[in-house]
Amino acid sequence: MDPGVVPGALDEPPLISADMHPPVDLAEDLERFNARLATYLKPEDITRVGAAYVFSDAAHRGQMRVSGGPYITHPLAVAETLAGWHLDAHALMAALLHDVMEDTSITKEQIAERFGKVAAELVDGVSKLDRIEHQSFEEAQAENFRKMLLAMARDVRVILIKLADRLHNMQTLDAMRPEKRRRIARETLDIYAPIANRLGLNALYRELQELAFRHAHPLRYRVLSKAVKGARGNRREVVSKILDAIRQALPAAGIDADVKGREKHLYGIYRKMRDKHLSFSQVLDIYGFRIIVKDRPTCYLALGALHALYQPVPGKFKDYIAIPKANGYQSLHTTLIGPFGTPAEIQIRDADMHHVAESGVASHWLYKDETTLDQLQKKTHKWLQSLVELQSASGDSSEFLEHVKVDLFPGEVYVFSPRGKIFALPRGSTPVDLAYAVHTDIGDRCVACRINFETMPLRTELRNGDRVEIITEPNAAPNPAWLGYVKSARARSKIRHFLNTRHAEESAALGERLLSHALRDLGLALAKLPAQAWERFKRASGARSQKAVLAEIGLGKRLPAIVARRLAEGVESTNAATEARGKQAILIHGPEGVAVKLGNCCRPIPGDPIVGLIRKGQGLVVHTHDCTAIAKLRSERGNWVDVEWEADIKGMFEASIRVIAKNVRGVLARIAAGIAEAGSNIVNISMDDDSGEATTLFFTLQVTDRIHLARILRSLRRVPEVVRITRYVDAKPRKEN
């Protein structure tokens, strides 16, 4: 495999060596590829690309594609797509070599030695990971995407190669088994097509969608394709009339423009029918028109001329020139009512906008001198860097992929900060999403918001043009409930990262208390354990660190008694520790936290006799000693621990009461007033059927302790209409004395 075999003359196919004798169809592919390279690469770069082709062909020699052709046709097709985007020699070499690490014995080091470190890094970024033993397909797929997207964050050429690779695979998918075709097509719709859209590769985005639709839903594709062909004939005259009218109206207004009619893609029509529950006959705008003018001001002049020609549809105008999409796309969109009531969707843009709309981030290579691309490059770089942030905040590859999928579907909600800055957010976003879009600290400390100068709930869905002010508090923290309604990947990942970090810290603190308790029973003190004992335990158990062991104890993944016994091996107990043995219980400092939970079945409050149970994955769960639920758990002896309320415990706890009262007007108001007089808040209220003489009311109240609850009950007994009061637990009431 001599890289010097490639001729330097451009009038011959430089990638074909004299001894290869490729098939006629491959020779034609090579000739077309070389013709593209000759339009923008230097002769020495063409020689390097030729060497990569010879190397790849030799490495794949004897390998065939499922379709029956020689394997080299695939990397050649990928490289040809990249040449159409005018990518550099490094990217083209990587495209030709992108499968050699995965399918042959060639290593990254060999590629780096032969073709340079840059090409080797690109090939490594595109190559799949080796399957990890016992790993499911979904986990392996998620890990592959994680690696690929992070490599893309370092060099966007990685994803351009991968997208070109997926395009050719989709174009030759017919040779695959039906179930594999559907899986690959679904993966393309979920991941690769949205990435192409996010990078502004509009033409590639549409083609991937069409190919994926054809293979994922072949019957629907055929039926819809037939319906569109029929409609095409019926509407040809109408479309021709609209085109002629536009081509006459624009020059009459002094506007020089290139006007093209285009048929909407099948997948776009299908998605509109599916999402809006429409029949094909109801989807009238299957034709669109694109108008390309000389500059930005002329776009708005053309818009005015068209609105004078045909009636615009209210609410269907979008100005993506003033506020570009996240992928850099700029155009004016409007829908007009043409002849016979036919809707006509119009896109108006200038030539530079058209380049970006069709090629997106690839325009960086195609049109290097265009100053209009600076903003697109900044946006792309910002998005790529956000992937690195998502990775650091995500727990595993599956969670990372979930965040990226959310982020890949660009939103169309534009809101304003109090200072007038515009933020683009996913459709359905809330003020919490905006808070995290501004800064992580703003999101973490967010407590309330004002939308258009009115105080609104944080779960309010934002609309285009809203002015949103975020209100923060220094000691606030993210609420787990936010995960139920935030839409952006950034907000979701930051909330999870905060909760996971807090969970780990609280679990470690609880684990330390539990282990100290267990060690005291053995006559040992945690603080005085020698470092050798911890090192010995970590080696034997495979634990990462002492803090990790404590967190696992707090989460119930390790039993404190067993850890204590292993740590105690070879360690002598001290007299002081022996004297303290068994005298102290685990103290409960306050209301429910992350690592310590109060049982929902019995709702213990300070003053109630309590017991603790370590449950795997839940940490320490506290119950009242007579809770009916713990009777089923008596067999878990090793998991029970002694717990007590701290003497000066503070905070509000929830307690439930049942009130039977006479069914008279105003009784609920008088009971609520009695609860308020006793210094309590009502968290929840419900009632049984009130058709009789008496009605049963159920209250969940906030109390400080058992004495406070007794004071509330005494206050309610003074209400004349109250017949009976009980505290109830798990639907089984206990009468208060």
Q: 572: which residues sit within 8 A by CB, 6+ positions away?
A: none
Predicted confidence band of residue 381 (pLDDT cuts 50, 70, 90): low
**pLDDT given for residue 164 in this prediction:** 92
Residue range 221-370 forms a domain whose CATH class is alpha beta
Q: Which CATH number fits domain 377-493: 3.10.50.40, 1.10.580.10, 3.10.20.30, 3.40.50.300?
A: 3.10.20.30
CATH topology match: 3-218 vs 653-734? no
- What is the residue extent of each domain of the chain? 3-218, 221-370, 377-493, 497-645, 653-734
* Calpha distance 157→85 (Å, rounded): 11
**pLDDT given for residue 30 in this prediction:** 80
* Tokens representing residue 523 in the block: 């006559």
Tell me the chain's radius of gyration from C-alpha atoms.
34
**pLDDT given for residue 572 in this prediction:** 60
**pLDDT given for residue 619 in this prediction:** 64
Mind spelling out the 3-state secondary structure of 357-399?
HHHHHHHHHHCCCCCCHHHHHHHHHHHHHHHHHHHHHCCCHHH
Whole-angstrom CA distances from 421 to 372, 414, 442 are 21, 10, 16
Superfamily name and number for 3-218: Hypothetical protein af1432 (1.10.3210.10)
**pLDDT given for residue 348 in this prediction:** 93
Mind spelling out the 3-state secondary structure of 288-343?
EEEEEECCHHHHHHHHHHHHHHCEECCCCCEECCCCCCCCCCCCEEEEEECHHHCE
**pLDDT given for residue 633 in this prediction:** 66
Is 121 or 731 the better-scoring residue by pLDDT?
A: 121
Cβ atoms of 679 and 620 closer than 8 Å: no
Put the strands of the sheet holding 610-615 in their side by side order: 596-598, 619-624, 610-615, 640-641
| pLDDT tens digits, one per residue of 247-277 | 999 999 899 999 888 777 888 888 888 877 8
Kind of pairing, strands 619-624 and 596-598?
parallel
**pLDDT given for residue 347 in this prediction:** 92
**pLDDT given for residue 78 in this prediction:** 92
Mind spelling out the 3-state secondary structure of 176-233?
CCHHHHHHHHHHHHHHHHHHHHHCCCHHHHHHHHHHHHHHHCHHHHHHHHHHHHHHHH
Distance of CA 41 to the CA centre of its chain: 39
**pLDDT given for residue 132 in this prediction:** 39
Q: To which H or E segment does residue 59 belong?
A: helix 43-59
Instruction: Give pTM, 2 decimals.
Output: 0.58
Cβ atoms of 350 and 293 closer than 8 Å: yes
Is 118 or 631 the better-scoring residue by pLDDT?
A: 118
Which numeric CATH code is attached to 653-734? 3.30.70.260
Predicted confidence band of residue 298 (pLDDT cuts 50, 70, 90): very high
Q: Which residue has the tokens 């409007």?
A: 334
* Tokens representing residue 552 in the block: 């696992």
Closest CA to 158 of 80, 82, 56, 65: 82
* Tokens representing residue 675 in the block: 């609860």
* Calpha distance 330→357 (Å, rounded): 7
**pLDDT given for residue 17 in this prediction:** 41
**pLDDT given for residue 301 in this prediction:** 92
Predicted confidence band of residue 582 (pLDDT cuts 50, 70, 90): very low
For the ranges 28-42, 129-143, 392-406, 657-671, which has the lowest average pLDDT?
129-143
* Calpha distance 587→649 (Å, rounded): 10
Cβ atoms of 333 and 323 closer than 8 Å: no
| pLDDT tens digits, one per residue of 506-521 | 778 878 888 887 787 7
Q: Reduce the DSSP state of residue 700 to 3 states and report it.
A: strand
Cβ atoms of 408 and 198 closer than 8 Å: yes
Q: Reduce the DSSP state of residue 57 to 3 states and report it.
A: helix
Active site residues: 102-103
Put the strands of the sheet holding 694-703 in their side by side order: 681-687, 694-703, 653-662, 722-729, 732-734
Predicted confidence band of residue 370 (pLDDT cuts 50, 70, 90): very low
For the ranges 405-414, 463-472, 570-579, which has the lowest average pLDDT?
570-579
Predicted confidence band of residue 575 (pLDDT cuts 50, 70, 90): very low
**pLDDT given for residue 94 in this prediction:** 92
Q: Which residue has the tokens 């700029």?
A: 330
Q: Which residue has the tokens 């005291």?
A: 520
Mean pLDDT of 459-470: 88
**pLDDT given for residue 18 in this prediction:** 34
**pLDDT given for residue 365 in this prediction:** 54
Question: How high is the mean pLDDT of the chain?
Answer: 78
Predicted confidence band of residue 144 (pLDDT cuts 50, 70, 90): low
**pLDDT given for residue 689 in this prediction:** 64
Mean pLDDT of 393-413: 58
| pLDDT tens digits, one per residue of 168-179 | 999 988 888 888
> Averaging pLDDT over each range in 95-99, 311-315, 576-580, 585-589, which range is the top one?
95-99
Cβ atoms of 113 and 123 closer than 8 Å: no
Beta-bridge partners for 456 = 449
Q: Up-side HSE of residue 463: CA atoms within 13 Å toward CB?
A: 2
